[in-house]
């Protein structure tokens, strides 16, 4: 018997199995069983159907396998939304039939059972949303959620791993890969939950190596972070079968949503529950048929919701979703990478609750909103109010110090040309910096003498990149940093 006929029989048996189980479910519903175990019986049947679908759907139409890597690059309660985003993405893929062995998750995993969580063990991604944490694989958590482990996972290099579950993208030339990253970023860099950040050139080099190894058919990369376009602009080739979209262009802020004070947001939560770009593509997946909607169609939905739909707020609180890489892949349907969702279109949360004029806040300032909200809600004279005030003032003080340090260093090195040189933005299609090693050296030198840039300070990555582009060397920065930060 040929392999094609065998596969055909297996598919027919899978379909027949699903039909038979579905009939049993319908029959049970019609009989209105009064058995006390009815609910548990239904769950068993639903799990059987889901497992059968997973075995069939994880194989793409060409016989290849679908793989997914989901990355939340932050930790801490104030960054709740990043792990919520990743958990929501997992539920979409799982519901669409991908198996856990093909979904690899990076998250610090300090949110669900955090002492601040009003619903212990539960994570939601929208106001009054359902739990998206249940069942999420804990592949690379805590100190194992590192950039080096992410590179090893993408490349399928188990020997390079340090800790974690050991799962890697062990893909072949006919396989499809979906990568989703959500967190804080700056020009040319995004953070990881533990250890060093991811530099744009290192990430793209890993993707090029994956292509050179002939270990995928095509890949889709969704990236959410401030200045996220700078991770691919001028770097990602258009001939390595990768299609990428970013939440912003190379010089824009990203935006958090479902924040304290927003319409419909529970007073129980003092953090933002999602990010605009992320909830836009995921809530679109929740309600659309992944077998019919193309990547380009979803891009248009997300572009409009992330940009135009936020313009009613004013104050420029919008960003431009950008496409990079191989544009020909945008004609593919979402199910090519995410699996085939059921025809019922049943969603994690049936109603799209994104308000017409949402309250959004810069991703870089969401922590300030958190501290202010805690301060504002705490009883007058209470310990909670005092602690919230101290945290708020400490963060503001830290930001002022970073601002002072970088500006002072720039003036010491570049004199009157400081502002002109450091704030220069390159034309689209040009990478942030010519010498990435120079950029990394200058950042390490700054942190050695002036302390961590921190999540806030990575907004100055362009300043350091422009120093490199202007010919500033490590010794010059050492001298300036000693004067500015001592």
3-state secondary structure of 202: helix
Task: Give the pLDDT band of residue 37 (cuts 50, 70, 90).
Answer: low
Neighbours of 130 (CB within 10 A): 15
CA atoms in the 13 A half-sphere facing the CB of 430: 13
* 55 domain-assigned: no
Q: Is residue 124 domain-shared with residue 272, that is, in the same domain? A: yes
Q: Which of 59-68, 170-179, 278-287, 448-457 has the lowest mean pLDDT?
A: 59-68
Q: Is residue 313 domain-shared with residue 446, that is, in the same domain? A: no
Does residue 189 contact residue 199 with C-beta atoms inside 8 Å? Answer: yes
Q: Locate 146 and state its tokens.
A: 């590192």
Q: Is residue 320 domain-shared with residue 438, that is, in the same domain? A: no
* 34 domain-assigned: no
* Distance separating alpha carbons of residues 276 and 318, to the nearest angstrom: 9
Based on the residue annotation, tell me whether 82 is a catalytic residue of this protein. Answer: no
* Distance separating alpha carbons of residues 394 and 375, to the nearest angstrom: 13
Of 336, 353, 369, the one marking the end of a domain is 336
Q: Of 82, 88, 226, 272, which is the active-site residue?
A: 226
Q: Is residue 289 domain-shared with residue 389, that is, in the same domain? A: no
Q: Which of 34-48, 74-88, 320-334, 339-353 has the lowest mean pLDDT?
A: 34-48
DSSP state string for 301-313: HHHHHHTGGGGGG
Q: Is residue 317 domain-shared with residue 383, that is, in the same domain? A: no
* Distance separating alpha carbons of residues 284 and 281, to the nearest angstrom: 5
C-alpha separations of 249 from 224, 232, 348, 392, 453 in Å: 11, 10, 30, 29, 22
Query: Which residues on adjacent β-strands are paired with residue 186?
Result: 189
pTM (2 d.p.): 0.85
Q: Locate 384 and state its tokens.
A: 């909670």
CATH number at residue 452: 1.10.132.130
* Distance separating alpha carbons of residues 110 and 267, to the nearest angstrom: 21
Q: Is residue 253 domain-shared with residue 304, that is, in the same domain? A: yes
Task: Give the pLDDT band of residue 262 (cuts 50, 70, 90).
Answer: confident
Task: Give the pLDDT band of residue 472 (cuts 50, 70, 90).
Answer: very high
Residue 238 has pLDDT above 60, yes or no: yes
CATH number at residue 246: 3.40.50.1460
- CB under 8 Å to 172, separation ≥6 — which residues? 64, 65, 215, 216
Q: Which of 204-213, 301-310, 385-394 has the lowest mean pLDDT?
A: 301-310
Q: Is residue 427 domain-shared with residue 477, that is, in the same domain? A: yes
Of 275, 303, 336, the one marking the end of a domain is 336
Task: Give the pLDDT band of residue 35 (cuts 50, 70, 90).
Answer: very low
- First-last CA distance in the chain: 78
Mean pLDDT for the stretch of residues 74-88: 97
Based on the residue annotation, tell me whether 404 is a catalytic residue of this protein. Answer: no
Residue 397 has pLDDT above 80, yes or no: yes
* 151 domain-assigned: yes
Residue 199 has pLDDT above 60, yes or no: yes
pLDDT, tens digit, 9 for 90 and up, residues 173-186: 999 999 999 999 99
Q: Locate 327 and state its tokens.
A: 């544009």
* 202 domain-assigned: yes
Q: Locate 177 and state its tokens.
A: 């890969």
Q: How many domains is the chain built from?
A: 2
* 322 domain-assigned: yes
Neighbours of 206 (CB within 10 A): 18
* 416 domain-assigned: yes
Q: Is residue 175 domain-shared with residue 302, that is, in the same domain? A: yes
Q: Of 82, 184, 370, 391, which is the active-site residue?
A: 184
Strands 361-362 and 255-257: antiparallel
* 220 domain-assigned: yes
* 473 domain-assigned: yes
Query: Which residues on adjacent β-strands are paired with residue 386?
Result: none
Neighbours of 64 (CB within 10 A): 20
Mean pLDDT over each residue of the chain, to the nearest integer = 86
Q: What is the pLDDT of residue 11?
A: 46
Task: Give the pLDDT band of residue 56 (cuts 50, 70, 90).
Answer: very low
Of 285, 317, 336, the one marking the end of a domain is 336
Instruction: Report how far Cα 245 is from the mean position of its chain's Cα atoms.
Output: 12
Q: Is residue 73 domain-shared with residue 159, that is, in the same domain? A: yes
pLDDT, tens digit, 9 for 90 and up, residues 354-378: 554 567 899 999 999 999 988 988 8
Residue 401 has pLDDT above 50, yes or no: yes
Q: Is residue 214 domain-shared with residue 69, that is, in the same domain? A: yes
Q: Is residue 329 domain-shared with residue 232, that is, in the same domain? A: yes
Mean pLDDT for the stretch of residues 396-415: 96
Backbone angles phi, psi at 422, to 5 degrees: -70, -30
* Distance separating alpha carbons of residues 232 and 324, to the nearest angstrom: 7
Q: What is the pLDDT of residue 263?
A: 64
Q: Is residue 74 domain-shared with residue 167, that is, in the same domain? A: yes
434: domain range?
378-485
């Amino acid at each position: 018997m040929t392999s094609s006929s065998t596969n055909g029989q297996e598919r027919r048996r899978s379909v027949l199995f699903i039909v038979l189980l579905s009939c049993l479910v319908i029959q049970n519903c019609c009989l209105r069983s009064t058995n006390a175990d009815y609910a548990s019986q239904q769950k068993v049947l639903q799990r059987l159907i889901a497992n059968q679908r997973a075995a069939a759907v994880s194989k793409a139409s060409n016989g290849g396998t679908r793989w997914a890597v989901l990355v939340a690059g932050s930790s801490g309660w104030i960054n709740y939304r990043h792990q919520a985003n990743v958990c929501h993405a997992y539920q979409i893929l799982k519901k669409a039939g991908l198996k856990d062995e093909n979904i690899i998750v990076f998250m610090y995993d300090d949110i669900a059972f955090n002492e601040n969580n009003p619903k212990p063990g539960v994570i939601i991604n929208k106001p009054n949303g359902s739990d998206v944490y249940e069942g999420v694989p804990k592949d690379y958590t805590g100190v194992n959620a590192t950039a080096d482990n992410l590179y090893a996972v993408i490349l399928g290099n188990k020997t390079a791993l340090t800790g974690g579950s050991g799962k890697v993208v062990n893909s072949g030339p006919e396989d499809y890969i979906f990568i989703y990253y959500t967190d804080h970023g700056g020009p040319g860099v995004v953070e990881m939950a533990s250890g060093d950040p991811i530099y744009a050139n290192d990430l793209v080099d890993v993707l090029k190596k994956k292509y050179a190894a002939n270990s995928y058919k095509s890949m889709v990369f969704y990236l959410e972070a401030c200045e996220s376009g700078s991770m691919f602009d001028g770097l990602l080739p258009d001939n390595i079968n990768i299609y990428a979209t970013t939440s912003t262009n190379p010089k824009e802020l990203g935006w958090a949503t479902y924040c304290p004070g927003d319409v419909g947001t529970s007073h129980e939560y003092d953090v933002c529950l999602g990010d605009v770009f992320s909830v836009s593509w995921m809530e679109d997946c929740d309600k659309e048929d992944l077998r019919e909607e193309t990547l380009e169609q979803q891009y248009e939905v997300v572009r409009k919701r992330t940009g135009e739909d936020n313009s009613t707020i004013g104050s420029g609180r919008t960003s431009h979703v950008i496409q990079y890489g191989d544009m020909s892949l945008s004609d593919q349907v979402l199910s090519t990478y995410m699996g085939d969702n059921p025809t019922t279109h049943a969603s994690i949360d049936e109603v799209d609750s994104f308000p017409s004029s949402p309250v959004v806040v810069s991703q870089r300032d969401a922590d300030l909103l958190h501290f202010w909200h805690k301060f504002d809600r705490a009883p007058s004279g209470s310990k909670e109010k005092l602690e919230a005030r101290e945290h708020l003032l400490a963060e503001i003080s830290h930001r002022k110090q970073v601002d002072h340090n970088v500006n002072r260093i720039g003036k010491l090195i570049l004199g009157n040309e400081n502002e002109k040189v450091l704030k220069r933005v390159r034309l689209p299609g040009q990478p942030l910096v010519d010498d990435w090693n120079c950029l990394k050296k200058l950042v390490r030198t700054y942190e050695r003498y002036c302390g961590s840039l921190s999540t806030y300070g990575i907004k100055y990555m362009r300043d350091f990149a422009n120093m490199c582009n202007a010919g500033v060397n490590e010794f010059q920065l050492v001298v300036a940093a000693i004067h500015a930060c001592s």
